[in-house]
Amino acid sequence: MKGRVYYGWWIVAAAILLQFVFLSVSASTVSVFLRPVVEELGWQVWQFTLGSSLALLAGALSGVVIGGVIDRHGARLAVLGGALVAALCLYGLGRQSSLWLFWSLHVCAGLIGWTLFGPLVVNTAVNKWFVRRRGWALAIGSSGISLGGLIAPFAMTLAVDSWGWRNGYLLQALFVLGIVVPVAFLMRRRPEDAGLQPDGDTIESRPGDGRPGAEEPPSMTTRQALRTSGFWLLLAGYGMNQAALSSVLAHAVPFATDASFSRTAASLALAVNGLGNLLSKALWGYCLQRFPPRRLAVAAFSLGASGVAMMLLSASLGGAASAGSFAPFLLFAGFFCYGFGFGGTIPISEYLWAGYFGRAHIGAIRGISQPLTIVGPTVGPVLVGVGYDLMGSYTAAFAAIIAVYLVGALLVAISRAPRAVAG
């Protein structure tokens, strides 16, 4: 490999682009479309947010199958198929006026659309190409999620406000086709298929080189992983974390506008979230090579909870209309802190999963975990919407999100890697 770039870094580059598109069309712009769609079609808030929740649930169900497929065959065909289906579904979302069709298109997009170029598929590939440098690779690859949070909400707000929400969905469909299809051809299954070793090392250089993470943990099968407490604690802890994250993303714009901020300020707050997410990657990557990942998970969850607390404080001050410049500062600071913690979610969680259970069957293990992990982010945004419809305020729901973050942090903190592969 001397004088050549290790191919695994091309997988990381593909991960950046794929996760950027995934978040841009599946989560980070949901709240941008919420008010225009609800007001034009006469729906309630919970009915709109149920669409994205159903997509998450459908994606979790397909993950049970797709994880094992990626282990055996790689990600290229899955990514290509997902791009085509996602583009068709997004086009349909821009043309429909029926609540049932809106929900059905989201189910299809989640089941066999954008899920196939999302974190499960992408991070399974990255985990297979890296061991010693896994922390850096996952952190860099997940920067696409950060870019999706930084760029997409503001850009899509401008598009929707200028050309309408229907054309906004059409733009998203073209966006998927223009980026995901060509990037799919970069995907490869694992380094051994090309006669390589993880991290670009030679067989001779890997054992006993004394560097952090050089020793690869033994791999467990799905059945063996299911018999460990570590599997279930990670599952519950990160399920709660994802519930909190998705609930804030889905309701960020209406939360801010209800506090007297403009839609432009609200979309800028989401962009600040993306900036914090992006800037955090270097720190999380550095720390994953040097510190216990469970402690880093607790830190990331706590930062998210602190950010939501600052958002609530900005709303309690009466928003931009009555608090001068201090309320906007708190709002942006809250979204930055939330984003900084958000930035650690993918690299730390994937590092923990691969560190606990090895890389040989990591796609299948992560896939089987998806239906339960996704319960929180499926239900959370809907419950927040119901709470808003009943109480006319986001205060109680966002306070509950803080508690969810902290309970999730505790569950991950008490998890432990299996000491040996179960018989």
Residue 131: per-residue pLDDT: 83
- 144-156 pLDDT, tens digit each: 887 887 788 888 9
Distances (CA, A) of 50 to 34, 117, 287: 11, 22, 37
Q: CB of 109 within 8 A of CB of 90?
A: yes
Q: What are phi and psi of 174, to 5 degrees?
A: -65, -35
pLDDT at residue 208 tops 60? no
pLDDT at residue 192 tops 90? no
The full length of the chain comes to 423
In which band, very low, low, confident or very high, does the pLDDT at 212 lie, cut at 50, 70 and 90? very low
In which band, very low, low, confident or very high, does the pLDDT at 261 lie, cut at 50, 70 and 90? confident
- Looking up tokens 């497929």 gives 69
In which band, very low, low, confident or very high, does the pLDDT at 369 lie, cut at 50, 70 and 90? confident
Residue 209: per-residue pLDDT: 42
106 CB-near residues (< 8 Å, 6+ apart): 51, 52, 54, 55, 58, 89, 93
Q: Which two tokens stand for residue 82?
A: 């997902």
The residue that leads in pLDDT, 168 or 190, is 168
What is the pLDDT averaged over residues 274-294? 88
pLDDT at residue 77 tops 80? yes
pLDDT at residue 321 tops 70? no
Residue 318: per-residue pLDDT: 66
Topology classification of domain 8-207+214-413: Growth Hormone; Chain: A; (1.20.1250)
What is the pLDDT averaged over residues 172-187? 94
- 80-99 pLDDT, tens digit each: 999 999 999 999 999 998 99
What is the pLDDT averaged over residues 177-182? 95
Which of 6-10, 92-96, 109-113 has the weakest average pLDDT? 6-10
The residue that leads in pLDDT, 304 or 214, is 304
In which band, very low, low, confident or very high, does the pLDDT at 423 lie, cut at 50, 70 and 90? very low
Residue 215: per-residue pLDDT: 59
Average pLDDT over the chain reads: 85
Residue 287: per-residue pLDDT: 92
Residue 230: per-residue pLDDT: 92
Distances (CA, A) of 325 to 264, 314, 318: 16, 10, 11
In which band, very low, low, confident or very high, does the pLDDT at 200 lie, cut at 50, 70 and 90? confident
Residue 20: per-residue pLDDT: 94
In which band, very low, low, confident or very high, does the pLDDT at 373 lie, cut at 50, 70 and 90? confident
Residue 342: per-residue pLDDT: 87
d(CA 169, CA 188): 30
SS (H, E, C) the chain: CCCCCCCHHHHHHHHHHHHHHHHHHHCCCHHHHHHHHHHHHCCCHHHHHHHHHHHHHHHHHHHHHHHHHHHHHCCHHHHHHHHHHHHHHHHHHCCCCCHHHHHHHHHHHHHHCHHHHCHHHHHHHHHHHCCCCHHHHHHHHCHHHHHHHHHHHHHHHHHHHHHCHHHHHHHHHHHHHHHHHHHHCCCCCCHHHHCCCHHHCCCCCCCCCCCCCCCCCCCCCHHHHHCCHHHHHHHHHHHHHHHHHHHHHHHHHHHHHHCCCCHHHHHHHHHHHHHHHHHHHHHHHHHHCCCCHHHHHHHHHHHHHHHHHHHHHHHHCCCCCCCCCHHHHHHHHHHHHHHHHHCCHHHHHHHHHHHHHCCCCHHHHHHHHHHHHCHHHHHHHHHHHHHHHHHCCCHHHHHHHHHHHHHHHHHHHCCCCCCCCCC
Residue 234: per-residue pLDDT: 94
Residue 203: per-residue pLDDT: 58
HSE on the CB side for 79, CA within 13 Å? 34
Spell 74-88 as b/e; 16+ CB within 10 A means b. bbbebbbebbbbbbb
pLDDT at residue 277 tops 70? yes
Residue 412: per-residue pLDDT: 95
pLDDT at residue 358 tops 60? yes
Domain ranges of the chain: 8-207+214-413
The residue that leads in pLDDT, 266 or 178, is 178
Say if residue 97 is exposed, middle or buried (CB neighbours under 10 Å; 0-12, 13-18, 19+).
exposed
Residue 323: per-residue pLDDT: 47
- 234-253 pLDDT, tens digit each: 999 999 998 998 888 878 88
- 375-418 pLDDT, tens digit each: 777 788 888 888 888 888 888 889 999 999 999 999 999 999 88
Q: What are phi and psi of 24, to 5 degrees?
A: -60, -35
